[in-house]
Chain A
Amino acid sequence: MATVTAGEIRAATHEGLPRQQVVAFVIMVGALVAAPFFFYPVFLMKVLCFALFACAFNLLIGYVGLLSFGHAAYFGMGSYVAAHAAKVWGLPTELAILAGTAVAGVLGVVFGWLAIKRQGIYFAMITLALAQMVFFFSLQAPFTGGEDGIQSVPRGHLFGVIDLRSDLAMYFFVLAIFLMGFLFIYRVIHSPFGQVLKAIRENEARATSLGYRPDHYKLTAFVLSATLAGLAGATKAIVFQLASLTDVHWSMSGEVVLMTLVGGLGTVFGPVVGALTIVTMQNYLASFGAWVTVIQGVIFIVCVMAFRRGVIGEIANVLKKPL
């Protein structure tokens, strides 16, 4: 696990935001606002959904040190429920997304409560096992449409006014969701609550001895992470008008680990860069077919061998400032 850098402690203890993070945030928002006029909006929306997913995952592994290998369950359930709510129940788009998010949160409470009773590899295996059960459920349950998934989900109107069938309108809606999620996570990890999470990551026994109850904090972090993963999944279902088994498959859990590692574990901006890298590769290398996975594997190995802190982690290390 990454250790807390001196800068991080300073940043967290000082009042106000560290300047380099503000600068990076402004650059990111500027780029994201301008991007749809230069790049294909649907592709960018995919990046944003995965970036939010990776940020949610990073909250758990980067700041609490819990490696969940079943985050696809919350992502996928979020997308199934949102798709079902929008298509079959006819809920407005924003309510459908909230429904998906809520279900993922409830799933997070149940799974988290079970999983945090164990640590390390056992924790990872329990989350994986539970996620596989969700996959099986999604394969069999009548409302998920089995391997066909839920197709032709209506994008609907935002607040009943803005037509989301326009890719540009949809993009800014997704961007708003992403930024809310991103800022929420930022707030969480820089709050006193976040400080305790990091303390637990560094030394759980010491956190206990200081009077904190690690299980409470872990469970809360787990539920937050699952909820945000569900939000990402629900948004993705509305963007692509589709919820499918891909979203709950274990390889999705693997992909989010990869994104977070490539971008930089325990950094604020890392998962965003990681998601951008991986989704871009999947998109533009698609013509290489099976080689995409091989290339991804090689990049993963290079990452682990050469720059273990990930892209943003390495930059932060050079700058000696947290990003």
Chain B
Amino acid sequence: MFRKMLLASALALAIAAPASAQSPVRVKFGVLSDMSGIYADATGQGSVIAAQMAIEDFQASQKGIQAEVVGADHQNRPDVGSNVVRQWFDRENVDVVLDTPTSSVALAVSEVTRERNKVFLNSGAASSDLTGSACSPNTIHWTYDTWALANGTGGALVAEGGDTWFFLTADYAFGHALERDTSNFVTSKGGRVIGAVRTPFPSSDFSSFLLQAQASRAKVIGLANAGGDTINSIKQAGEFGITQGGQRLAGLLVFDTDIHSLGLRTAQGLVLTAPFYWDRDDATRAFAARYEQRHPRRLKPTYVHAGVYSSVMHYLKALEKTRSAADGAKMVAEMKAMPTDDPLFGKGEVRQDGRKIHPMYLYQVKTPAESRGAWDYNKLLRTIPAAEAFRPLRDGGCSLVRS
């Protein structure tokens, strides 16, 4: 008996020895997202799944990293979001905040993160201010931003022959900015903006605006809006048969899950810019298949989910080097120093201002006849190389950029 026990404890020691050679590094990720609102499918619970997948794929526990993921709902309210994040930092030892759609919440979280010297890896928010006037040594903006979307849709679409534009603009600061930025890209590429109409925000009836757009004979109708406004305008454009009539509808912030819920009959012909599409190559398909298995409603991942996966992966690589998550600014500096490389976005880099750089893609939504089955939604129109996809470093007005 005694001998058996001795043997067992010796065995246990032998197994435990390699792990205890280096005490495990603890890191806690907090996915702050819209779990119940309009962005819940495109971000939300899926981002928690993506973060967990990254930790497993990195084989964190074998590398002496003890990683944990928690999630919370910010209800798209900046005060709720900043409150949750403060509580995470102060009481629950969260080191990294992930995802966080809705620009107002993201900007608030970025401030709190800087104050507490933690890390904020944003994937879900659009505002390019996160790496511009509001940039922070603790924030990396991973997946996309308004500049990249406007550049992709506005610039690349002109090159595809869509040279006359009409805008449906949500009548508030975000809509105006989106219209202005996109118009600049359109005109700089030789296109022409022949009209624009301001729609009340938020709105459920776009019919009169869509009729104006139709009557303008513009080749492209640009939707300078987001969330529910985008969904409603695409739906009603589908009812008017606008894309079948030869005009193109250009959405700026459209996720694959939106197309999924709209259906191809409604969304067909819509042009959009995205940094990731699940059906791009073998690596993305493999990721999507595994993600789908774990998703309670069997949805495919959006580019926000892919961004969460990729950012967690890169963070863990940096953590393997520094072996301490305590100093947020140091972690981000390490992440900027290392080139990025992962199966979903390929090779890239994190710039001084916190902007992650990778190619963007211009897609068009397939017609029901073109689609080969479930989730076969997008066809590639054009690849925008990484060097042209994002705002040049000097134009952002970020204080971290040394001149």
Show the binding face of A for B, using Cβ within 8 Å.
40, 42-43, 46, 139-140, 145-149, 151-152, 165, 167, 236, 240-242, 244-247, 282-283, 286-287, 289-292
Contacts and interface: CB of A to CB of B under 8 A. Distances in A.
Nearest to A237: B79
A151 B72 contact: no
A151 B73 CA distance: 20
Contacts of A46: 79, 83
Given A40-B87, A242-B79, A290-B37, 4 more contacts: A146-B173, A240-B79, A246-B77, A287-B35
Given A149-B104, A289-B36, A246 B78 contact: yes
Q: Which of the listed residues A146, A148, A287 has the most CB atoms from chain B within 10 Å of its own CB?
A: A148
SS class, residues of chain B in contact with chain A = helix
A289 B74 CA distance: 9
Interface in B164-205: 171-174, 201
Contacts of B90: 40, 42, 167
A286 B134 contact: no
Nearest to A41: B90
SS class, residues of chain A in contact with chain B = helix
B83 A148 contact: no
Given A148-B103, A290-B37, A242 B172 contact: no
Nearest to A289: B36
Query: Which A-B residue pairs are the 4 nearest by beta carbons?
Result: A146-B173, A289-B36, A290-B36, A152-B111
Interface string B314-354: 00000000000000000000000000000000000000000
Given A242-B82, A283-B83, A290-B36, A146 B174 contact: yes
B80 A286 contact: yes
Given A147-B104, A148-B173, A287 B83 contact: no
Contacts, number: 87
Q: Which of the listed residues A146, A165, A245 has the most CB atoms from chain B within 10 Å of its own CB?
A: A146
Contacts of B36: 289-291
B172 A43 contact: no
Interface in B70-94: 72-73, 75, 77-80, 82-84, 86-87, 90-91
B79 A246 contact: yes
B274 interface: no
B82 A240 contact: yes
A187 to B, nearest CB: 31
Q: Which of the listed residues A40, A152, A245, A282 has the most CB atoms from chain B within 10 Å of its own CB?
A: A152
Contacts of B103: 147-148
B111 A147 contact: no
30 contacts: A42-B86, A43-B83, A46-B79, A139-B172, A139-B201, A140-B173, A145-B173, A146-B172, A146-B173, A146-B174, A147-B104, A147-B173, A148-B129, A149-B78, A151-B78, A151-B104, A151-B108, A152-B107, A240-B79, A241-B111, A244-B77, A244-B78, A244-B79, A244-B108, A245-B104, A286-B72, A287-B72, A287-B73, A289-B36, A289-B75
A321 B129 CA distance: 56
Interface in B22-80: 35-37, 40, 72-73, 75, 77-80
A78 to B, nearest CB: 14
